[in-house]
Amino acid sequence: MKTIPRRFNLVFGENLLKELNDTAHRPYIVVTMKDIWPMVKDDLSEHLAQVYFVKENTNSDILANAVNELPKAECIIGVGGGRAIDVAKFFAWRKRLPLFSVPTSTSVNAAFTHRTGVRFNRTVKYIGWAVPEAVYVDFGLVAKAPRWMNSQGIGDIFCGHTGNYDWKLATKRGKADHWPYDEELAAEVQEVMEDVYANIEEVGKVSKKGIETVMRAHWKFGALYHESGWIPRPIEGSEHGFYYNLERVTGREFQHGEIVCWGIIISTLLQDNEPEKMENYIRKAGVRLTCSEVGLSWEEVEKTIRTLSEYAQIAVDKKIPPHYTILNEATIDDSLIKLLNKKFTSK
């Protein structure tokens, strides 16, 4: 099935927030984080109805209550990472207001998807419909984010490598449900990844070329996801299973793209699917890969890995991502645990 992607308006440039202040519908609500607001308030305060600071907990009840407390406004401007952009999309959807998205890092693909990731208790569901008037990528603003924040954006791109494998496996086993493997769609996903592979050095430098490479990949993936009829299989496989299971095991939330990269390293080993190549790309991008850097203990990581099969069965039974994957078949033994311990505890 060859898709014809209808992509969001994507704009690259410098000092874009000043332009947005002059063009966005007035008055507007800015949805952002407390640590980001000082960097952008001088450009976005003139026609401000309210600034909403996104909380750590994005549970559905909290967001529903917040919607009811919003003042009258003519549009929503989301400024920040994935959590801020997702909340802005949620508000725009529920209030039926125009939306402008301004990602402040390349960390996740939230700015390029119609749906919002909302937590119902501890389960993430993707709901809603929000199409931004434009997505503005300000090179200067994105470059201010820490390197590790920008580097983790490859997680939601390279997941196509493990996702395509899992998708084909599920189809072969008769476990793909209503999403049978589509070679053309899988090839389109591969094509997007190839461009990022070719520019991985620039991605690691967070140069303009690197920023544009990652953002265009997110932009294309978002369109492919929607135009394929929201088929999640090529972009959400066993690598996301590690992320979801880590949150289940620890009861804490983590940087999405970063932990997905850990999942890619684990999944490629289980799949025997070019693990050295993918780990090399991830390291070149500058992703943090040690427990101490991301606030984890090895004991938490080990428990998460050892219970991946358990989580995989939960996903199949409840028909939730990542559905049927290599995690439903692979054997996780002590030799794998020893190898991963070395990868995730030493630089």
Q: Using the predicted structure, report yes or no on whether residue 30 has a pLDDT greater than 80.
A: yes
Looking at the structure, tell me whether residues 232 and 281 fall in a common domain: yes
Cα–Cα dist 15/20, whole Å: 9
More confident position, 64 or 73: 73
- The count of other CB atoms within 10 Å of the CB of residue 272 is 10
The tokens for 192 are 């997007």
3 within domain boundaries: no
Looking at the structure, tell me whether residues 178 and 304 fall in a common domain: yes
Looking at the structure, tell me whether residues 128 and 221 fall in a common domain: no
Looking at the structure, tell me whether residues 125 and 254 fall in a common domain: no
CATH of the domain at 60: 3.40.50.1970
1 within domain boundaries: no
Q: What average pLDDT does range 164-191 have in this prediction?
A: 96
Domain endpoint, select from 143, 173, 192: 143
Q: Using the predicted structure, report yes or no on whether residue 4 has a pLDDT greater than 80.
A: no
CATH of the domain at 272: 1.20.1090.10
| Predicted model pTM | 0.92
289 within domain boundaries: yes
252 within domain boundaries: yes
For residue 297, give the DSSP letter. -
Indicate the residue type of 68: N
Cα–Cα dist 1/172, whole Å: 18
Looking at the structure, tell me whether residues 155 and 62 fall in a common domain: no
Q: Using the predicted structure, report yes or no on whether residue 106 has a pLDDT greater than 80.
A: yes
pLDDT score of 57: 66
Length of the chain: 347
Q: Using the predicted structure, report yes or no on whether residue 120 has a pLDDT greater than 80.
A: no
Q: Which residues pair with 100 in a beta bridge?
A: 77, 134
| Total domains, the chain | 2
Q: What average pLDDT does range 179-196 have in this prediction?
A: 96
Looking at the structure, tell me whether residues 107 and 162 fall in a common domain: no
Cα–Cα dist 344/134, whole Å: 39
Query: Residue 125: which domain range?
Result: 10-143
Looking at the structure, tell me whether residues 258 and 158 fall in a common domain: yes
Domain endpoint, select from 143, 173, 202: 143
pLDDT score of 245: 97
User: What average pLDDT does the structure give for the chain?
Assistant: 94
pLDDT class of 55 with cuts at 50, 70, 90: confident
pLDDT score of 251: 92
183 within domain boundaries: yes
Give SS3 for 24. Answer: coil
Indicate the residue type of 46: E
Looking at the structure, tell me whether residues 66 and 204 fall in a common domain: no
117-126, 195-204, 232-241, 312-321: range with lowest mean pLDDT: 117-126
